[in-house]
Amino acid sequence: MGDVSTGGGEDRKVPKLPVPGKRNILITSALPYVNNVPHLGNLIGSVLSADVFARYCRLRGYNVIYMCGTDEYGTATETKAMEENCTPQQICDKYHAIHKEVYKWFNISFDEFGRTSTPQQTEVCQAIFKKLMENNWLSENSMQQLYCDTCKRFLADRLVEGTCPTPACNYDSARGDQCEKCGKLLNPTELQDPRCKVCQNTPRIRDTNHLFLELPLLKDKLEEYINSMSVVGSWSQNAIQATQAWLKEGLKPRCITRDLKWGVPVPHEKFKDKVFYVWFDAPIGYVSITSCYTPEWEKWWKNPENVELYQFMGKDNVPFHTVMFPSTLLGTGENWTLMKTISVTEYLNYEAGKFSKSKGIGVFGNDAKDTNIPVEVWRYYLLTNRPEVSDTLFTWADLQAKLNSELLSNLGNFINRVLSYIAKDPEIDEKHVGYCSIIPDAPGAESHLLTKLLGEKIGNYVEQYLEAMEKVKLKQGLKIAMSISGEGNAYLQESQFWKLYHEDQPSCKIVMKTSTGLVYLLACLLEPFMPSFSLEVLKQLNLPPEMKVPLSDEKGDIGRASSPWEILPAGHKIGMPEPLFKELKDEEVEFFREKFAGSQADRIVKAEAEAKKIAEQLKQTKVSDGNLKKQRLAKSTAATKSKAPAEAEISISRLDIRVGLITKAQKHPDADSLYVEEIDVGEGQPRTVVSGLVNYIPLEETQNRRVCVLCNLKPATMRGIKSQAMVLAASNNDHTKVELVAPPQSAPVGERVKFPGFEGEPDDVLNPKKKIWETVQVDLHTDKELVACYKDVPFTTSAGVCTVSTIYDGSIR
């Protein structure tokens, strides 16, 4: 399956070059602008969508590279630098690192994640400009531009805001280059009631000389390219509509220079104080970033006979990729690799409004990480909600519904049912079923009617999946893959596999071997969408993480899909099954909805106010706590004199439960079902503990393991060895499965496990006659999130709560 993420170019391998006779695919996603943290709308609009297609192409065995990077020049960077009182270069360095970190967390598998503020960008951009000059596709003209007398400068388009001139829009915060609301491209002088974004004063119009790309002269070449490639490359409908709208309106000369300092310098004596307009040089960034990846970049970018270019972006970027960039490359007269396929998304909106970087509205990349919702859930939700033909809406309730019903109840449930059943040991399982983790042989599967019908369905689904993915219909591809999981669940139910073990062993083996093949197939088909999920499934199948999950025509991988019982070999030992997804609860959804309401600025103000309030409360608490301690001491002294202490209430606070580390474990010399362990509980010398775990937990899994240890039970001799404590473990309802209660790995050894709300010192030794342990034990259990609890209060350490692996609603003893 390859790397989950290249991390933006670290640990670089030998650069890939086009290979004759293979499908060579060059993928780009719109370069994210570097002036802010990317939000979820940015991710699904280009970077994540392109990553899914790149991963799919690798599975197919295509020769593919995925290029992206931060777009760093232009007005927005200068504006952000003014806001943060630093240089444009410092802004770019700061936000490039932030973008890189966000994409690394989202497992984006770039072959190169670069930036446009490089010498290579200047070199490639200026070379293209010189070719356009030589071929007479550029003209010089004066234009009217807004000038701010207060700031003493011409105002580039993004330094101006005003009211959109489109009658049906009238958006009052339209930028000078484009209206964010209606999407119309603008010139700053078209804005009504313009204002300088820096000082808010009204600018005036002045003449300034600039260079223009003569789009009208390139019209024939451009239209020939669009008419041909939009059919061959199956352009998305929204891309075709946006492009045709530009052509219908009539192509006009487009200014390619700006009165700025931060950008690629124009190599022309008359215009040496200007830089290239960011939308002239930004698409060229794809080329320069590839030149950073390999000095032989022309083998990708000037090789249209052997390379297919796929480009991913949001709908507001379409004209620059279907009109401006192709015109620029066509104008050079060189043999450029022009875009074959463009995949365009509409907008992903947030709860009641739009995601907005500039306004800080929505969930941003770093926010997603901080929720502790796993990355595969975020990727799945964004991709099922990908706005392919119309705007879609992100809501927390919808995220919860898709996680709980689709990932947990459908996909996770199917995989866990299959692997858990195979992992059972019939000698110790209460129902005497299972295959001791060994995939059984299944002769005659092809003539087993139910299984044969399933194979035909799965074969059809895989063909539909490939067809959708080849056409870059990613949402449809994901939906088809998830349908296979649904078919798997239906197959298990219809086969009634839980009865077959004792009634029809050959059929049971067929069902289990076939289902295990489906698990592997799902790991393959879903890898482009949820790579971390696929890695975990491979781990549970006991297959190496670097193992390729192929979908190659040449090797016959696709044909095998219709015979899932042949996918994995009989006799293979699987790993340890564990739940793949965790339920998202109503109270968590409400918490996130409240936390991410309003803008980022609003949230910062709110967080600062809450921090101030808490600090004040703590200050008051310290003052009153000092007085309270004196009062308590006086009362305690008086009470001691007047009467004997009363028997403390029986609760968890009476128990001395500590974080322990098993330093040594071996089987009891005189009892087959007992282990003898040496456990460090922070006392200098380890305690000897005897526990009845032999039938449930392999000896090797007990070594050097953190556990929860009840340290104040009265010592008891078990088969000649005195046990000085008890290891706590959870069991399921029928006591066929037992798992150790595990503190976090970073919890200090010897730390007492606490239960918020139940304070107090533990008894030195629990009095067996008082039945304290027996009384408390009935309220010890694991919850649906696999957290160990006393009543509803979690076992808590300074490093976090204590958990079990898979047993929920289990009893702890």
Range name among 70-74, 183-187, 289-293 with the lowest pLDDT average: 183-187
Integer Rg of the chain from CA:
33
What residue has token string 């599975």?
A: 59
d(CA 330, CA 342): 18
d(CA 345, CA 808): 41
Q: Is the pLDDT of residue 518 over 90?
A: yes
Q: Is the pLDDT of residue 673 over 70?
A: yes
Q: What is the pLDDT of residues 55-113, one digit of tens each?
A: 999 999 999 999 999 999 987 888 788 778 889 999 899 999 999 999 999 999 999 99
312 vs 610, more confident: 312
Mean pLDDT for the chain overall: 87
Domain endpoint, select from 345, 368, 384:
345
Mean pLDDT along residues 191-210: 91
Q: Is the pLDDT of residue 340 over 80?
A: yes
d(CA 45, CA 33): 13
Range name among 399-408, 568-577, 595-604, 759-768 with the lowest pLDDT average: 595-604
Q: Is the pLDDT of residue 644 over 50?
A: no
Q: Is the pLDDT of residue 359 over 80?
A: no
Per-residue pLDDT band at 559 (split at 50, 70, 90):
confident
Q: Is the pLDDT of residue 480 over 90?
A: yes
Query: Within this chain, do residues 790 and 716 fall inside the same structural domain, yes or no?
Result: yes
Q: What is the pLDDT of residues 445-467, one digit of tens each?
A: 999 999 999 999 999 999 999 99
Q: What's the pLDDT at 360?
A: 53
* Residue among 739, 727, 715, 717 at smallest CA distance from 657: 727
407 vs 592, more confident: 407
Q: Is residue 598 part of a domain?
A: no
Q: What's the pLDDT at 620?
A: 58
Q: Is residue 313 part of a domain?
A: yes
What residue has token string 């858990």?
A: 420
- Burial (CB count <10 Å: 0-12, 13-18, 19+), residue 773: buried
Q: What's the pLDDT at 236?
A: 86
Q: How far is CA 413 from CA 71, 253, 533, in A?
A: 43, 59, 14
Q: Is the pLDDT of residue 556 over 50?
A: yes
* Total domains present in the chain: 3
Q: What is the pLDDT of residues 396-410, one digit of tens each?
A: 899 999 999 999 999
Query: Within this chain, do residues 444 and 550 fall inside the same structural domain, yes or no?
Result: yes
Mention every residue, 6+ apart, whose C-beta is less than 8 A from residue 639.
none
Type of residue at 787: V
Per-residue pLDDT band at 339 (split at 50, 70, 90):
very high
Q: What's the pLDDT at 553?
A: 67
Q: What's the pLDDT at 613?
A: 55
Q: What is the CATH number of the domain that holds 680?
A: 2.40.50.140
Q: Is residue 603 part of a domain?
A: no
Per-residue pLDDT band at 739 (split at 50, 70, 90):
very high
CA angle 451, 455, 456 (to 5 degrees): 120
Structure tokens belonging to residue 471: 């056409």
The neighbour count for residue 193, using CB atoms within 10 Å, is 9
Mean pLDDT along residues 660-687: 90
Query: Within this chain, do residues 329 and 430 fall inside the same structural domain, yes or no?
Result: no
Query: Within this chain, do residues 341 and 462 fall inside the same structural domain, yes or no?
Result: no
Q: What's the pLDDT at 115?
A: 96
What is the 8-class DSSP label of residue 645?
Answer: P
Q: What's the pLDDT at 584?
A: 92
- Burial (CB count <10 Å: 0-12, 13-18, 19+), residue 336: buried
Domain range holding 444?
409-573
Q: Is residue 42 part of a domain?
A: yes
Query: Within this chain, do residues 456 and 554 fall inside the same structural domain, yes or no?
Result: yes
Query: Within this chain, do residues 121 and 49 fall inside the same structural domain, yes or no?
Result: yes
Range name among 346-350, 439-443, 623-627, 743-747 with the lowest pLDDT average: 623-627
Mean pLDDT along residues 578-588: 92
Query: Within this chain, do residues 555 and 688 fall inside the same structural domain, yes or no?
Result: no
Do residues 66 and 25 lie in contact, with contact meaning Cβ atoms separated by under 8 Å? no
Q: What's the pLDDT at 8?
A: 42
Mention every residue, 6+ apart, whose C-beta is less than 8 A from residue 435.
421, 422, 423, 424, 426, 512
Query: Within this chain, do residues 310 and 232 fall inside the same structural domain, yes or no?
Result: yes
Q: Is the pLDDT of residue 334 over 90?
A: yes
Q: Is residue 9 part of a domain?
A: no
| 807 Rama class: left (phi>0) / alpha (psi -120 to 50) / beta | beta
Q: What's the pLDDT at 638?
A: 46
Domain endpoint, select from 555, 573, 591:
573
Structure tokens belonging to residue 134: 């030589």
Query: Within this chain, do residues 562 and 667 fall inside the same structural domain, yes or no?
Result: no
Q: Is residue 211 part of a domain?
A: no
Entry pTM: 0.71
Q: What is the pLDDT of residues 212-271, one digit of tens each?
A: 999 999 999 999 999 999 999 999 888 998 899 889 888 999 999 988 889 999 999 999
Task: Give the bridge partners for 70, in sequence order.
Answer: 115
Query: Within this chain, do residues 430 and 341 fall inside the same structural domain, yes or no?
Result: no
Q: What's the pLDDT at 413?
A: 94
Q: Is residue 587 part of a domain?
A: no
Q: What's the pLDDT at 74?
A: 85
CA angle 182, 187, 188 (to 5 degrees): 100
Q: Is the pLDDT of residue 641 over 60?
A: no
Domain endpoint, select from 321, 345, 369:
345
Query: Within this chain, do residues 421 and 331 fall inside the same structural domain, yes or no?
Result: no
Query: Within this chain, do residues 340 and 415 fall inside the same structural domain, yes or no?
Result: no
Q: What is the CATH number of the domain that holds 537?
A: 1.10.730.10
630 vs 329, more confident: 329
Q: Is residue 463 part of a domain?
A: yes
To the nearest whole percent, how much of the chain has pLDDT over 90? 61
